């Protein structure tokens, strides 16, 4: 089947599409950014005033927040294996192991057989159709532990989580892992090998890089490391609108039958712009798979340094199957990175030499060109060279892109009370992130809070604001969830964490100089509407709810006003 075939033409999103569960639960086509200023103010006022009504005092008990990192291992200790908070199992319908995040071969073989037996027992197609069976097993709980299953014959996936995740989130994670296998091998090839031999050892088809990528993806899912997978969107680099337009004009100048799609990326896979056919688009999940394949392996990185960096000016030609675009065929990705922080280029701009203290990967750009033809490498490489040369020849483009990578702060006064926030545009399936601290332990805390706030958006349930709750050892001092209707939702949560515990859990003593008796408040706040989601975190002293509401209003208005800078709205369409 031709790789050009696409089911994307029927999608509503002008650039990317997303069918994640929360988007389905909050389904609507209206977009707040298109409304008048007075309408935006009225909507925000009616939503935000609700949060100021709660006067529940903060509990005086100090609480601990955070968990250790989950990493892949081949542990032979059964007790350590059982104590892991997150497991992913992938096996064939015959019970043959394909992948496990934890455990040695001796441990996982027995569990794979047990999983296959459980799934087969519930897979009673004839009796289910007759109304006397249960059909496929989806999930069940045993105390705080959630077991989730995905039967994608001939592959079975199971997740085990003790992290207070919803069934929807766990199912999405298994779906992502399955689609990664399809991305690597394609669905027809998977079906063919199992049709020829049902007991085939699937691991023979997975190379070392494939397994390494699976390990990194599972670690991202277990540790909430990939914010895009958490909230269902693509990160974007903030760029002036006219700069984005000029980049799109360059891409359009070099359109060719050899290139079906083009993507310009900034650091950490932040999207700058996209080139696409007029009647075709790419699904957000497909791009997340593509980016995971690139950024979760060392295939595209140097191997001569202690800390691998993306190889500059190297050319890669990689077959990739995008399941939502066409699970039956491959596209061929030409991938190349280049460095903006170069002494010769900076001297022309009069900005001096390169700053050696800056992480080299934070000033690199990437270009991905997707071709439907595997024999068009040289033609696509020539197009890539022309695009990169054109960008680097323009001093205006070069300067603005370079500065955009080094600065990521909103105008002064927009969010003085908030340390970090994420604004997601549902229309574009993209998000913009502000973080004030690059410390790894601080990021762990943020990711955990963002994931808990997103879980509330997914479940969209009402929780009484008058009770203090304890959930899996996590003590929540104050939780307020307001559901206005099927499409507007707020959650407001405060955790109280003692300085000594905060230092122990996150090693944040460099930022907190206080006695063990003093407590710090961590406030999480999420607003979900039909057109956007806003996640905010404040660490430090308590915050007045009216001030929080006003701050969120300023952030929302600023983001909606600067959509052209924050998000890719149309791209280069040919």
CATH of the domain at 299: 3.30.450.30
Residue 181 sits in the same domain as residue 207 = yes
65 in a domain, yes or no? no
Domain, as residue range, for 402: 8-16+239-407
- pLDDT for position 474: 44
263 in a domain, yes or no? yes
DSSP 357-408: TS-GGGGEEEEEEEES-TT-HHHHHHHHHHHHHHHHH-HHHHHHHHHHHH--
pTM above 0.85, yes or no: no
Residue 190 sits in the same domain as residue 259 = no
pLDDT higher at 532 or 504? 532
Residue 343 sits in the same domain as residue 485 = no
Residue 398 sits in the same domain as residue 249 = yes
Tokens of 455: 């879980």
**Of 223, 258, 275, at which residue does a domain stop?**
223
Per-residue pLDDT band for 100 (boundaries 50, 70, 90) equals: very high
Which helix (DSSP H) or strand (DSSP E) does residue 100 occupy? Answer: strand 97-100
Flag whether pLDDT at 325 surpasses 90. yes
Residue 124 sits in the same domain as residue 246 = no
Residue 400 sits in the same domain as residue 473 = no
Whether the Cβ atoms of residue 214 and residue 177 lie closer than 8 Å to each other: yes
69 in a domain, yes or no? no
Tokens of 404: 């955009």
Residue 313 sits in the same domain as residue 429 = no
Residue 292 sits in the same domain as residue 397 = yes
Average pLDDT over residues 349-362: 71
Residue 254 sits in the same domain as residue 186 = no
3-state DSSP assignment of residue 139: strand
228 in a domain, yes or no? no
Structural domain tally of the chain? 3
- pLDDT for position 502: 44
24 in a domain, yes or no? no
Query: E strands within 281-327?
Result: 282-283, 316-320
DSSP lists the bridge partners of residue 524 as: 493, 537
Flag whether pLDDT at 22 surpasses 60. no
**Of 407, 433, 457, at which residue does a domain stop?**
407
2 in a domain, yes or no? no
109 in a domain, yes or no? yes
DSSP lists the bridge partners of residue 161 as: 86, 146
- pLDDT for position 260: 95
**Of 223, 250, 274, at which residue does a domain stop?**
223
Residue 257 sits in the same domain as residue 365 = yes
Residue 255 sits in the same domain as residue 191 = no
Least-confidence region, from 328-332, 397-401, 426-430, 539-543: 539-543
User: pLDDT for 186-222, tens place per residue?
Assistant: 999 999 999 999 889 999 999 999 999 999 999 999 9
Residue 336's closest CA among 318, 360, 362?
318
DSSP lists the bridge partners of residue 235 as: 431
Largest CA distance in the chain: 77
573 in a domain, yes or no? no
- Bond from prior residue into 154 cis (ω within 30 degrees of 0): yes
pLDDT higher at 413 or 245? 245
User: pLDDT for 382-434, tens place per residue?
Assistant: 999 999 999 999 989 998 999 898 887 766 777 777 878 999 999 999 999 98
- pLDDT for position 143: 87
Q: Residue 103 sits in a domain of what CATH number?
A: 3.30.450.70
Contacts of 560 (CB under 8 A, 6+ apart): 32, 33, 40, 532
Residue 35 sits in the same domain as residue 136 = no
């Amino acid at each position: 089947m031709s790789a050009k075939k696409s089911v994307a033409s029927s999608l509503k999103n002008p650039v990317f599409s997303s069918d994640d569960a929360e988007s389905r639960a909050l389904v609507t086509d209206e977009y707040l950014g298109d409304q008048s200023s007075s309408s935006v103010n009225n909507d925000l006022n009616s939503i935000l005033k609700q949060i100021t009504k709660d006067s529940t005092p903060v509990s005086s008990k100090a609480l601990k927040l955070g968990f250790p990192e989950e990493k892949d291992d081949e542990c032979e200790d059964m007790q350590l294996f059982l104590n892991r908070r997150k497991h992913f199992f992938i096996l064939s319908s015959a019970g043959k192991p394909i992948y496990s995040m934890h455990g040695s071969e001796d441990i996982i073989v027995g569990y794979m057989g047990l999983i296959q037996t459980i799934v087969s027992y519930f897979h009673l197609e004839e009796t289910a159709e007759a109304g006397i069976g249960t059909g496929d097993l989806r999930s069940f709980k045993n105390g705080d532990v959630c077991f989730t299953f995905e039967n994608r014959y001939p592959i079975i996936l199971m997740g085990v989580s003790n992290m207070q995740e919803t069934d929807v989130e766990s199912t999405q994670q298994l779906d992502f892992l399955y689609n990664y296998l399809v991305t690597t091998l394609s669905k027809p090839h998977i079906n063919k090998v199992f049709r020829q031999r049902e007991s085939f050892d699937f691991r023979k088809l997975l190379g070392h890089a494939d397994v390494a990528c699976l390990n990194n993806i599972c670690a991202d899912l277990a540790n909430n490391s990939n914010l895009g997978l958490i909230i269902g969107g693509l990160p974007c680099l903030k760029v002036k609108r006219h700069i984005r337009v000029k980049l799109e004009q360059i891409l359009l100048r070099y359109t060719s039958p050899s290139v079906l799609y083009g993507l310009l990326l900034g650091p950490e896979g932040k999207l700058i712009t996209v080139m696409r056919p007029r009647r075709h688009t790419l699904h957000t999940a497909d791009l997340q798979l593509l980016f995971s394949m690139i950024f979760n392996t060392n295939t595209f990185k140097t191997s001569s340094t202690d800390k691998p960096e993306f190889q500059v000016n190297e050319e890669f030609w990689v077959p990739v199957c995008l399941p939502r675009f066409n699970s039956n065929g491959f596209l061929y990705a030409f991938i190349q990175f280049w460095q903006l922080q170069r002494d010769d280029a900076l001297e022309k701009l009069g900005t001096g030499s390169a700053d050696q203290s800056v992480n080299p990967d934070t000033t690199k750009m990437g270009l991905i060109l997707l071709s439907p033809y595997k024999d068009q490498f040289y033609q696509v490489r020539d197009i890539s060279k022309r695009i990169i040369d054109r960008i680097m020849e323009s001093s205006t483009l070069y300067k603005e892109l370079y500065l955009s990578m080094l600065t990521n702060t909103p105008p002064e006064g927009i969010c003085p009370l908030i340390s970090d926030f994420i604004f997601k545009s549902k229309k574009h399936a993209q998000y913009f992130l502000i973080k004030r601290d690059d410390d790894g332990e601080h990021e762990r805390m943020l990711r955990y809070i963002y994931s808990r706030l997103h879980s509330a958006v997914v479940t969209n349930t009402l929780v009484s604001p008058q009770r203090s709750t304890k959930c899996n050892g996590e003590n929540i001092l104050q939780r307020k969830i307001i559901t206005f209707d099927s499409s507007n939702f707020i959650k407001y949560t405060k955790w109280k964490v003692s300085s000594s515990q905060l230092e122990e859990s996150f090693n944040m003593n460099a930022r907190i100089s206080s006695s063990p008796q003093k407590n710090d408040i961590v406030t999480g706040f999420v607003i979900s509407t039909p057109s956007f989601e806003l996640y905010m975190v404040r660490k430090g002293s308590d915050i007045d709810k009216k001030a929080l509401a006003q701050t969120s209003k300023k952030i929302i208005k600023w983001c909606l006003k600067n959509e052209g800078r924050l998000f890719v709205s149309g791209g280069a369409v040919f």
